[in-house]
Chains A and B, each alone.
Chain A
Amino acid sequence: MYDNPNLERKVAQAESKISARNVQVFYGDTHAIKDVNVEIEARTVTAFIGPSGCGKSTFLRCLNRMNDTIDICRVEGDIELDGENIYDKRVDPVQLRAKVGMVFQKPNPFPKSIYDNIAYGPRIHGLAKNKADLDDIVEKALRRGAIWNEVKDRLHAPGTGLSGGQQQRLCIARAVATEPEVLLMDEPCSALDPIATSQVEELIDELRDQYSVVIVTHSMQQAARVSQKTAFFHLGNLVEYGDTDQIFTNPHDPRTEAYITGRIG
């Protein structure tokens, strides 16, 4: 029985990594996230879908407390990572973000060389023993970000000099380099061509072996391809959450059906 790999996988999937309960987010008086409950499983890719402005980015940013940087933003409710409330006073958001990495909706490379962009996280967290080790980490991250071949000859050129799509892959590589346990990706492929997109999707699939990945996407096909779980947001509500297959083939909520068949957006 224990020899059956499929079964093992199933057991692993049931393990919850992040669980959010009754989460409310306000921007000043705007109620952006309304009473969201969700369990994000370990070693799973979870897709957040929903029309523009429905709160996907906002909710994603709650998961590593990036909303702390917005003065007017207020988060209520419980979000637990491995059973520990991340909004607890004793939790250091800096430590949390090292564990829960993030790729942003808009590419934001630092005004540093490509190498330094990738080495930034490992240097801060002291992940490299020496220079050669750091070189290794950088190369591995760039390969996983599907950009190594394009930049291997100009590692010391500025990262801001890359094209938009290259910058986005650089940011993905930068996030991967710190070896987070959870990777939050906000529309990582919106500026990428089909080839780079499929490379990033391969990376996401590969990351699933060790990490949880949460990906926001506007592409139904992408959500269907890479994710095992899908959450559909609408006007700040989590309308439906379940296995990706079920959401796409047999949605329970009429709004979900309307969205994935292209009738609301």
Chain B
Amino acid sequence: MPLLWLVLIVLALAGAGYVLGRQRAMSSAGGDTRHLHSLPVYYGSNVAIFAAMPAFLVLAVWLIAQPLLVDSIVSADIPATAVPEGSTLSLLMSDVRRVADGLDLAISQGTIAADEAKTLRADATDVRALLASVGVALGSDVNETTLSAAQEFRALTGTGSMAMTVVVLALALGGFAYAYSRTNKDFRARNVVERSIRGLLIAAASIAILTTVGIVLSLVFNTVEFFRLYPALDFFFGTTWSPSFGGGSELGVLPLLWGTLYISVIALAVAVPIGLFAAVYLSEYAGAKVRAFAKPLIEVLAGIPTIVYGLFALLTVGPLLVKFFGSGGTFGVDWMSGASSVTTAGLVMGIMLIPFVSSLSDDIINAVPQSMRDGSLGLGATKSETIKQVVLPAALPGIVGAILLAASRAIGETMIVVLGAGAAARLSMNPLEAMTTVTAKIVSQLTGDADFASPEALVAFALGMTLFVMTLGLNVLALYIVRKYREQYE
């Protein structure tokens, strides 16, 4: 039975459960809601939840587990000798899955009968041609091993899906019947519903946490794998970055880290003062009318895709800087050879970050109670004294948070760097020279024909891990500052 049908049936059961549960509760109370423990909706929801929730839960787990299980059973049956030279078991398995899918398609289009598909033999039929006729293109002829594995795959999948349908429907019906039978006027449906809602919320929270854990683990494992192939010391303390897929690469992270930090610092040096001053103006000095139109206008900056900022860096800011600092430029110095430079990317990134800083700080400054300002003004302080000595200190933890958020954005930014800062990994103090960052190099290591077993590709994970640790460190620092401040003032 197709999945959609299964889901619809369970939903229909839940809907029916809602109506019936409600009715049963009402009739057990003689039609008077005052005799019920809970409101009628709760009785209905209770039955609906029992019909749908366990069924959907099992369905979800089954959908994830079954392919993994089938895969491992089928691949265990393939003898090691059957794997062709220069290929791997996982490549073979993907062939198997393709053939199995192709057979499914062929059956559904009526090209072959279902029984026929089960008894198909590679030496008797040209499976490749057969599948090509239903639109599934295969890279090579299908040999006997692949075909029989595919057949086993189909058989197992079919059985599994059958079992899944039965189990899910049974659960839905069982839950329905159980909850329905418990429904009477004294049953505490409200508490039960409350508990299931809590379960739902917990599930949502755990999905977020588990995903994070999964991502971190995959980063960690791949990083460990990379350090097995490439010495960690050379990675962390190497001052040269020159990957070559032929081997003999030097993968020192220092030039990349330097580029990242340099660009981020320039970006923050632009964004923090401008953003903060703009926020102070908007929240303290601007009238309601100016605010109503200036604030959204600044926030539009946040909506511009970073690639557009990148173009702006490449086509406008870079050439402009060259006009000033390049050879024959306004200042008569020859400090800048090309449009790509740390300053180009930093300036543009700073502009991109202004709305982050200003918009968050503005909200935070606005959240400082008016009574605090009144207290200061009432003592004869001027507006700017009030802002400097009362409002900003009170808003400081939030502002620090906003700045650190902007810093994480700067460190993680890629597009502006690729277009504005160039691709040369370099350790240099000159802000007018081209450099590159960790993110930009992750992209260049993974684009193209990357062989995921080589250190040149795996280094991307180590770089990602480095970035992750940096942003994590920033967040911890932010928390620390905020807490320290709280201890002092609250």
Contacts and interface: CB of A to CB of B under 8 A. Distances in A.
Contact of A106 (B287, B288, B371, B394): B371
B490 A95 contact: no
Interface string A45-61: 00000000000000000
Contact of A108 (B374, B382, B389, B393): B374
Contacts of B370: 69
Interface in B436-490: 488-490
A104 B489 contact: no
Given A71-B288, A106-B371, A111-B394, A120 B490 contact: no
B375 A111 contact: no
Contact of A66 (B288, B374, B393, B488): B374
A178 B375 CA distance: 13
A97 B378 CA distance: 6
Given A69-B370, A71-B288, A94-B382, A108 B375 contact: yes
A110 B378 contact: no
Interface in A65-120: 66, 69, 71, 94-99, 101-102, 104, 106, 108-112, 120
B305 interface: no
A174 interface: yes
A104 B381 contact: no
Interface in B368-392: 369-382, 385, 389-390
Contacts of A71: 287-288
Contact of B372 (A66, A110, A175): A110
Given A111-B394, A160-B490, A104 B374 contact: yes
A178 B372 contact: no
Contacts of A242: none
A110 B393 CA distance: 9
Contact of B490 (A66, A158, A174): A158
Most chain A CB neighbours (cut-off 10 Å) among B380, B385, B390: B380
B379 A160 contact: no
Contacts of B373: 69
A265 interface: no
Contacts of B371: 104, 106, 108
Contact of A94 (B369, B375, B381): B381
Given A69-B370, A104-B371, A110 B390 contact: yes
**Which size bracket describes the interface of B in this complex?**
20 to 34
Nearest to A93: B377
A99 B390 CA distance: 21
Contacts of B376: 110, 120
Contacts of B394: 110-111
Contacts of B389: 110, 120
Contact of B377 (A97, A160, A178): A97
B392 to A, nearest CB: 11
Contacts of A42: none
A97 B393 contact: no
A110 B374 CA distance: 11
B385 to A, nearest CB: 6
Interface in A172-207: 174-175, 178
Contacts of B374: 66, 69, 104, 108
B375 A124 contact: no
A125 interface: yes
Given A104-B375, A110-B372, A111-B393, A124 B381 contact: yes
B380 A95 contact: yes
B490 A111 contact: yes
Contacts of B488: 158
Interface string B386-409: 000110011000000000000000
Interface string B274-293: 00000000000001100000
A164 interface: no
B377 A69 contact: yes
B489 to A, nearest CB: 4
B379 A161 contact: no
A155 to B, nearest CB: 14
B203 to A, nearest CB: 39
A230 interface: no
A64 interface: yes
A251 B71 CA distance: 97
A108 B490 contact: no
A111 B489 CA distance: 5
A121 B490 contact: no
A40 interface: no
Contacts of A110: 372, 375-376, 389-390, 393-394
Given A110-B390, A111-B489, A121 B380 contact: yes
A108 B375 CA distance: 6
A67 B381 CA distance: 15
Contacts of A121: 379-381
Contacts of B390: 110-111
B482 to A, nearest CB: 13
B371 to A, nearest CB: 4
A160 B375 CA distance: 13
A161 B490 CA distance: 6
B372 A112 contact: no
Interface in B282-338: 287-288
Nearest to B380: A98
A223 interface: no
Contact of B379 (A95, A111, A112, A174): A174
A125 B380 contact: yes
A171 interface: yes
Contacts of B379: 97-98, 101, 120-121, 124, 174-175, 178
A95 B380 CA distance: 6
Contacts of B382: 94
Given A106-B371, A125-B380, 15 more contacts: A66-B378, A69-B370, A94-B380, A97-B378, A98-B380, A101-B379, A108-B374, A110-B372, A110-B394, A111-B390, A121-B379, A121-B381, A158-B488, A175-B378, A175-B379
Interface of A: 64, 66, 69, 71, 94-99, 101-102, 104, 106, 108-112, 120-121, 124-125, 158, 160-161, 171, 174-175, 178
Q: Which 3 A-B pairs have the closest CB atoms?
A: A98-B380, A102-B378, A108-B371
24 contacts: A71-B287, A94-B382, A96-B380, A97-B378, A97-B379, A99-B380, A102-B378, A109-B375, A110-B372, A110-B390, A110-B394, A111-B372, A111-B390, A111-B394, A111-B490, A112-B393, A121-B379, A124-B380, A124-B381, A125-B380, A158-B488, A174-B375, A175-B378, A178-B379
